[in-house]
Chains A and B, each alone.
Chain A
C-alpha cells in the first residue's frame, strides 16, 4: 500500500496543474492516513468504513469509474467485492463480478459454479420454509408472527439481491405493526432497500413517516433518519436542504449506519453542500464558530463567545458537526479558507478532492454542479465589498488568467449575480448600483402605457362583441 502512495499518478498531475504546490499546512496532514484526501485513493481503508450491500455497490462503482489507466485499483476493488459477495448469498452479483474480473486475478477468482448452485438450492429450501411458516402464521392470525414472517421474507430477498421483492415484503408488515418500534423498524428497512434501489422518493416519505411516530426516537435512529433524508435531498439536487439535514445529524451516529453511509461522508456531503448553498451567516453559524474557537487566539474567541450566546441552538449543532469535520480535515480546512477569503487555497483543496469524490457512489453526479456553485460563490463574495476591483489582482487571487476570469465574471453579471460592469480597456470591475429613481419613472411610464393600450383594446373588443351580438339577435328576431 505504501508503494502506491509515492508512485506518480497521472490523476494527481492533472489536479496540481491548477496553481502550484499546496500550502505548508497540507504537509503535516500527510502523516495521518486519510480516507478521503488528495492522496492516492486507499481502497481497503475506504471499504472498511462500510458493511453490507453498500460496500459491494461502492466497490463495483469504483471499479467501473476509476478510469482505464488505473487497472490496479480496478482489480483491487473487484477482488474485494468478490470476497465480500462470497460471504453473502447473492449469486446474481457474484456472476456480475466474475464477468468483470474476466479471469485477470488468477484461478481463485473465477466462476465457482458449485458454490452458486449450493447457494441457490439453499435459497430455494429457505424460501419454501419461510413460505410455509408464513402461511401457518396467516391461518393463525397472530399479528406479531405474521409481521416477523414478512420481515424474514424481506431479509431473505434482500440477501439474495431481489430488492423489489424485499421492499414489498417490508411494506406488507405495515399492517401488522402494533408498536411504534415496529413502525420504525419497518421504515428503516424500507429506507435501506430504497436507497439501494435508488428510489429516493420512497426514502423521503418513509423518513417522514418514521419521524412522525409518537414515541421519541433514540439518538442513533434519529441520526440515521437525518442521514437518509440528507441523502435523498442530495440526490434530488436540493443541496440546501441536504446540507441542513447533514448538519443536524448527531455524532452518536458513529459507525452505526455503515450499511448506508460513513461519518466521513456526512462531513463531506454536508460540508460541500453547505459551502455551495449557504450564505455567510449561515455558514458561520453552522460550521465555523467552534472551529475558530479552537484554532484562533483568545481575543477572537471572546467575540465568538458572544456569538455563542446568540446562537445557542446552532452552537449545539456545531459541536456535532465539528466532530464530523474532524474526520475529514481537508473539508474543514477548505471551509475555513473560503470563509477567510483564501480562495486560491480553497479551490486547490477542492481540486485535490475532486478525483476521489468522483468515485463516491452518491456524490458522483453532483460534484460538477457543486463545484461550479462553490466557485461562483467565491467570485461573488470576492467582489461584494468593493467599489472597483483590479482584474489583475483578482486573477492572481484565484490563480486564473485575466481573460478567463473576465469571461466568468461576464457570465455572472449577465445572470444578475453580480451588480457590476467591466471596463475591458483598463481591466477593472466597477460596482454598479441601479438608479432606483430612474427605474421607477421608467416603470411608471411603461405601466401607464400598457394600461392605456389594454383598456383601449378592451373597449374596442367590447364594441365589436356588442355589434356582433346585436347583429345575431336581430337576425334571430327576424
Chain B
C-alpha cells in the first residue's frame, strides 16, 4: 500500500479522541521526513483530509507541502488552502505542534508578501494567533507577523484589537521586540501616542545582553513620539533599562537626540532649519512623516501655553507669539486643535479674537464614574497578579538556589544548604 494512503487512513482514523491523537502525533513525527520527500504529490492528499477534524494530520501534510521554493502561481493556489485551514482548524490539536503551525503561518506571510497583497494575510493571521495563544496574555510568534502585515496593509484598527490585550508571557524575547515595535507603529498611525509610547518604552527598556537593531529603530521612534506627546524627552533611560541600552543606544540615534535638543530651545525657526538640513537621514529611516508631526506639535504646544496665560487673545497676537506667518494660519491651527480636542476655545471671527475656555469636564457624569470604577477594578486585579507572581518566584527553584548561596548565615543550620538547591 502506498505509504501516503496508509498515512491518510491513520490520520482519518486516529483523529477523534485525545489518546488517539497523541498516538497519531508520534506516528506523524516519524513520518515527517517521508512526507517531505513527497512534497510535490501532496495536494490530492490534502483534498482527502478535513481541516477541522484532522487538524494535526492536515498540519503535517501542509507543512511538507509548503516547504521548499514556491513560485508565484503556486502561491496563488496555496494561499487559499492555508487560509482555509487556519480558519477551520481545531485549536487543541494544533497546539500539540506549535512550531509547525508557526512555520506554516510564516510561509503564508511570505507568500502574501510575494503576491504583494498583505491584506490577504491579515484576517487569517489574526485567527491563527488567537487560536495558538494559550491565554490572552500569551505572546506567540504570530503576533509580530500579524502586526507587520497590518502595518503594510494599513489595517490599523484590526491590529489595535490585538494590542488591547496585555502581554505577560513571552516565548521568545525577539517576538516581543517585534511585537512592540510594530504595535508602536500601528498606534502612531492611529494617533494613539500614549499607547505607542508605552509599547516603544517596553522595547527600549527590555532586558537585553546585546544591542539589537529593533531596539535602535524603536528608540528613534520613541524619541519622536515622546516629543509629540510630552513635548520633552527625558535624557537618560530609566535605571531598569539594560546597561547595554543605556550606554550605546544614544550613539546610534544622534540626529534624533539633536532634534530633541533643538526642540527644547523652543525656537521654531531653528527646529525647522534643523529638519531641513537632515531631511535625508530622516527619510532613510522612514521617519520623515513623524518628524513633520514633531514640528507641528511645537506650534500646538506654544498655543497651549497661551491658554494658561490669556483669557482672550487676538489672532494676530497668536500668530506673532507662536511665530506663524499670518492670522489666517493661526486660525487654522486653533481650529484644528479645537476639533482634535486639544484645547477648548471659541473663535470670534468678527473681532479676530480667540476666547480660551476651561476644560468643561466636571468629573460628575456616569461615564466618568464607570471609568474610574473600571480603573479601580483593573488595578486591583493587577495588584493581585503582582503578589501572585512574587509568591511564585519565591518558591522557584532557581531563585532559591541563587539566593541560598548568597544569603547571610546566622545559624549553624544555615550552613547546610540542601544539595538539590545547589545547581
Measured CB to CB, the residues of A under 8 A from B are 410, 413-414, 421-426, 430, 435, 437-438, 441, 444-445, 448-449, 451-453, 455-470, 473, 476-477
Contact = CB atoms under 8 A, between A and B. Distances in A.
B22 interface: no
B372 A457 contact: no
B386 A459 contact: yes
B317 interface: yes
Contact of A421 (B167, B310, B378, B423): B310
11 contacts: A414-B308, A422-B311, A423-B311, A423-B312, A424-B310, A448-B375, A452-B382, A455-B383, A457-B198, A461-B207, A461-B240
Interface in B367-393: 372, 375-376, 378-379, 382-383, 385-386, 389, 393
A449 B382 CA distance: 12
Given A445-B375, A453-B198, A457-B205, A424 B312 contact: yes
Nearest to B390: A462
B206 A473 contact: no
B362 A459 contact: no
Contact of A459 (B359, B376, B389): B389
Interface in B337-364: 351, 353, 356, 358-359, 361-363
Contacts of B202: 457, 460
A468 B313 CA distance: 58
B170 interface: yes
Contact of A441 (B313, B363, B389): B363
A424 B320 CA distance: 14
B376 to A, nearest CB: 8
Contact of A467 (B173, B240, B358, B382): B173
A23 B309 CA distance: 35
Nearest to B401: A473
Contact of B379 (A422, A448, A476, A477): A448
A444 B171 CA distance: 35
A28 to B, nearest CB: 44
Nearest to B352: A425
5 residue pairs, one from A and one from B, having the closest CB atoms: A423-B311, A425-B312, A441-B363, A421-B311, A413-B309
B271 interface: no
B169 interface: yes
A462 B309 CA distance: 45
Given A423-B311, A455-B386, A463 B205 contact: no
Contact of A465 (B207, B305, B376): B207
B168 interface: yes
B313 A452 contact: no
Contacts, number: 101
B398 interface: yes
Contacts of A460: 167-168, 170, 176, 202, 206
B10 interface: no
Given A453-B198, A459-B168, A445 B312 contact: no
A457 B317 CA distance: 44
A455 B313 CA distance: 43
Interface in B278-331: 305, 308-314, 317
A409 to B, nearest CB: 8
B309 A464 contact: no
Contacts of A457: 198, 201-202, 205
A445 B353 contact: no
B166 interface: yes
Contacts of A423: 310-312
Interface string B167-181: 111110100100000
Interface of B: 166-171, 173, 176, 198, 201-202, 205-207, 240, 305, 308-314, 317, 351, 353, 356, 358-359, 361-363, 372, 375-376, 378-379, 382-383, 385-386, 389, 393, 396, 398, 423
Contact of B309 (A422, A448, A459): A422
B310 A466 contact: no
A463 B169 contact: yes
A77 B198 CA distance: 69
B141 to A, nearest CB: 14
A426 B351 CA distance: 12
Contacts of B205: 457, 461
Contact of A473 (B168, B389, B393, B423): B423
Contacts of A444: 372
Given A414-B309, A438-B361, A466-B396, 7 more contacts: A414-B305, A424-B311, A425-B312, A451-B379, A461-B240, A467-B173, A469-B398
Nearest to A428: B311
Contact of B313 (A414, A424, A449, A465): A424
A413 B305 CA distance: 11
Nearest to A424: B313
Nearest to A437: B363
A466 B198 contact: no
Contacts of A438: 359, 361-363
Nearest to A468: B207
A206 B385 CA distance: 61
Contacts of A430: 311
Contacts of B169: 463
B309 A421 contact: yes
A438 B176 CA distance: 38
Contacts of A414: 305, 308-309
B378 to A, nearest CB: 7
Nearest to B312: A425
A459 B393 CA distance: 12
A420 to B, nearest CB: 9
Contacts of B356: 421
B170 to A, nearest CB: 6
A410 B173 contact: no
A254 to B, nearest CB: 51
A453 B202 CA distance: 10
Nearest to A432: B311
A380 B202 CA distance: 46
Nearest to A430: B311
A426 B168 CA distance: 57
B389 A462 contact: yes
B384 to A, nearest CB: 11
A452 B176 contact: no
B244 to A, nearest CB: 13
A383 to B, nearest CB: 13
A473 B398 contact: yes
A438 B359 CA distance: 9
A437 B356 CA distance: 20
Nearest to B305: A414
A189 B362 CA distance: 67
B312 A426 contact: yes
A441 B361 CA distance: 10
A422 B310 contact: yes
A449 B141 CA distance: 28
A452 to B, nearest CB: 6
A468 B173 contact: yes
A458 B240 CA distance: 9
A319 B363 CA distance: 57
B305 to A, nearest CB: 7
A426 to B, nearest CB: 7
Contacts of B396: 466
Contacts of A462: 389, 393
A476 B362 CA distance: 60
Contacts of B206: 460-461, 464
Contact of A445 (B362, B372, B383): B372
Contacts of A435: 358
Nearest to A462: B389
A453 B393 CA distance: 21
